Amino acid sequence: MTCVTLITPGDQVTVSKLHGTKMTERLSEARFNSIDIPELIGVCKGVLADGTVNLAEAEFIQHWLDDRSDVLHTWPADVLHRLLGRLLDDNALTDEEIAELTELLVEITGEPVSVIFY
């Protein structure tokens, strides 16, 4: 299970490792495996741009991945698709699920993000 710590508005979250491998190594490998991976990373950055993640954005990412089934064997698409399948099975997102998805999106983008909590 993933542990997410809520941060105060304006704080930065930086993730440098995912599953024991440096982010830059994972991203470099993924970018060589499919031309859709850089686009997926851009989609993730777009979702995180306002500091919140909602059901519509999660569904959008899931549909985007479903339309590109050739990348579902490549990180980070494989991990993200499995997580979204689990989180969206009831067509709703709890606060804990939003936090879990946000953490993964931050890991995938490899960049700091300001997270806004209302």
Whether the CB-CB separation of 53 and 98 falls below 8 Å is answered with yes
The predicted pLDDT at position 25 comes to 62
Determine the structural domain holding residue 64 and report its residue range: 12-114
The predicted pLDDT at position 112 comes to 62
**Measured distance CA(64)–CA(60) in Å, rounded:** 6
What average pLDDT does the structure give for the chain? 78
Whether the CB-CB separation of 71 and 65 falls below 8 Å is answered with yes
Overall pTM > 0.75? no
For residue 64, being part of any structural domain is answered with yes
Domain count, the chain: 1
Count of C-beta atoms within a 10 Å radius of residue 109: 22
For residue 6, being part of any structural domain is answered with no
